Amino acid sequence: MGAMLEVTNLMVFFENALALNDLGIEVSEGEIVAVLGSNSAGKTTLMNTVSGLIVDMKKKEDRRGGVRITVMGSLKFNNEEILHLKPSERVKKGIVLSQERHPIFRDSDVTENLKIAGYLRNRREVKERVSLVFDLFPVLKHLRRRRAGLLSGGEQQMLAIGIALVAKPILLLMDEPLLGLSPLLQADLAKAIKQIREQGITVLVTEQFARPLIPIIDRGYVVENGMLVFSGSRDELSENPEVKAAYLGM
């Protein structure tokens, strides 16, 4: 049995610019794996490719005669090739992307936002998942009647992760969840990610500044200009002088 997620020789071109160059990563069941990289490293492109959003982006661009997007390589989830599957098909298989920041419905309250996310699930499941989210993020429980648009950045980020959890992921994708949060909230969120894994959910997370994540990850990859430059265990990452200087602020 291979890894849960196997990305092999992944190439993504936007017109003639190369966003991901022959990238390979894998994530095994029960792991928390980080992909570290600076702003234009290709982290979001990777997440959009794994979640399938790139398939939608490509269709839109093809329709408008916009930027040509080309995706090549292999993307396997539980040994099944999914590179060209629609995002909704991937969600049904359990691959869910936590969209950074903005909750879906700014005028609906926190609880409504969470319930809407469970449209593929039955009511009992949704109720269970919503109470799991409130256990993970007690702050949201206190704010459950508040309109999503009135939440602070950190609260919106918790809600965005909560929304992804209600969709019942097997593999949760988190694109820069710590971005713009205070050190205190970053530590809270890292703790929550660890608790999410305890629910039997595998996590792939991208980040630019990785120090708060290092204690909770199993392994990590470093990507620069769309290419893999380093990979290793948590200890190997935190002992590598270049990784320390660039991504851990040490």
pLDDT reported for residue 250: 65
pLDDT reported for residue 112: 94
Q: Confidence band (pLDDT; 50, 70, 90) for 204?
A: very high
Secondary structure of residue 72 in the 3-state scheme: strand
pLDDT reported for residue 101: 64
What is the percentage of the chain residues whose pLDDT exceeds 70?
98
pLDDT digits (tens, 9 = 90+) for 144-203: 999 999 999 889 999 999 999 998 899 999 999 998 889 999 999 999 999 999 999 999
pLDDT reported for residue 123: 86
Q: What is the residue-averaged pLDDT of the chain?
A: 92
Q: CA angle, corner 141, sides to 140 and 145, nearest 5? A: 85
168 in Cβ contact with 94 (< 8 Å): yes
pLDDT over 60 (residue 1): no
Cβ neighbours around 159 below 10 Å, total: 27
Q: Please state, in angstroms and rounded to a whole number, the distance separating the CA atoms of residues 250 and 248.
A: 5
CA distances (Å), 67 to each of 14, 42, 58, 62, 63, in order? 6, 17, 8, 8, 10
* Structure token pair of residue 228: 């893999």
pLDDT digits (tens, 9 = 90+) for 36-88: 998 889 999 999 999 999 999 999 999 999 889 999 999 999 999 999 999 99
114-118: average pLDDT? 89
By C-alpha distance, which of 109, 156, 116, 115 is closest to 137?
Answer: 156
Q: Show the domains of the chain with their CATH numbers.
A: 1-88+210-250 (3.40.50.300)
- The pTM of this model reads 0.94
88 in Cβ contact with 137 (< 8 Å): no
pLDDT over 80 (residue 238): yes
Segment among 92-101, 146-155, 211-220 with least mean pLDDT: 92-101
Task: Give the end-to-end CA distance of the chain in Å, rounded to a whole number.
Answer: 38
125-138: average pLDDT? 93
pLDDT reported for residue 2: 67
pLDDT reported for residue 164: 93
Q: Confidence band (pLDDT; 50, 70, 90) for 105?
A: confident
